[in-house]
Amino acid sequence: MAIIPITIYGDKILRQKAQQVKALSDDIIEKIGDMFETMRNANGLGLAANQVGFRESIFVLDLKGVDGYEKFKPLVMINPQIILESEKKIILEEGCLSLPTLHAEVERSESIKVRFLNTDEKEVEIEADRLLARVILHENDHLLGMMIPDRVSEELRKMLKKDLKHIMDREIQIDYPITEM
C-alpha cells in the first residue's frame, strides 16, 4: 500500500463527477488499499477517490478512532447512492482533507439510507445516522464534485474566500502530502 498526495481545493478533479465502477479489478482493489493508507496517514474519517486523483465512484470510511465508534468496521462504498435523507437537519462543524485548515458549519440530514456495492460486488443497503450519516454525505458530495463551500451560505462563503485562496496557493502548513500546483 502507498500513501498518495491528497488533491486540494482548486484541483480540477475535485469538481468532476466520479465515474461508475463497472467491475472490480486488482487495480481498483489496490487503489482502495492506498486510499485507506492515505486517509489514516492524514487522520481522516473518510476519503473519496477523487481526493487522491482517482476518477472511480468509491469512498472509504473508518470511524473507529472516534469516541463511541471503537467497534466500527472500516467501510468501502462503491457506486454509492443516497436513497433516503431525513427531513431533520443538523448543523455541525466539518473539516476536509482537501480543505486543510478550513472548518465550517454545514447543515446535513441527521439520518440517511445508502445503497452501494461492497468489495465482494454485493449490493448493500444501510441506514446511518449522526456522524456516520454526515461522513457518508460528505464523501458522497466529493463524488458529485461538491465540497464544503458549496454547502454553506453565500455570506459564509465570502468569509472563507481568503482561506480558500491560501489553500489553492498551497500557503498552508499540514502534516500529510498534498498535490503540487
Q: Which three cell numbers stand for residue 32?
A: 482502495
pLDDT in tens, 65-121: 999 999 999 999 999 999 999 999 999 999 999 999 999 999 999 999 999 999 999
Q: pTM here?
A: 0.96
Spell out a b/e string for 57-75, using b for 16 or more CB atoms within 10 Å of the CB, else e: bbbbbbbeeeeeeeebeeb
| Residue 94 known to be catalytic | no
Closest of 22, 20, 38 to residue 30, by C-alpha: 38
In angstroms, rounded to a whole number, what is the distance separating the alpha carbons of residues 13 and 32? 18
Q: Predicted confidence band at 1 (pLDDT cuts at 50, 70, 90)?
A: confident
Beta-bridged to residue 111, according to DSSP, are: 129
Question: Is residue 100 included in any domain, yes or no?
Answer: yes
| Catalytic site residue from 93, 94, 139, 180 | 139
Q: Tell me the residue range of the domain where 101 lies.
A: 12-168
Q: Taking phi first (over 0 means left), then psi (-120 to 50 degrees means alpha), and beta for anything else, what does residue 121 get?
A: left
**Residue 46, CA distances (Å) to 31, 41, 61, 95 in order:** 14, 12, 4, 11
Largest pairwise CA distance in the chain: 45
How confident is the model over 30-48, as a mean pLDDT?
A: 97
**Within-domain flag for 135:** yes
3 state DSSP class of 16: coil
DSSP for residue 6: B
- For the chain, the domain total comes to 1
Question: What's the CATH code of the domain at 110?
Answer: 3.90.45.10
Asked if the structure places residue 1 within a domain, the reply is no
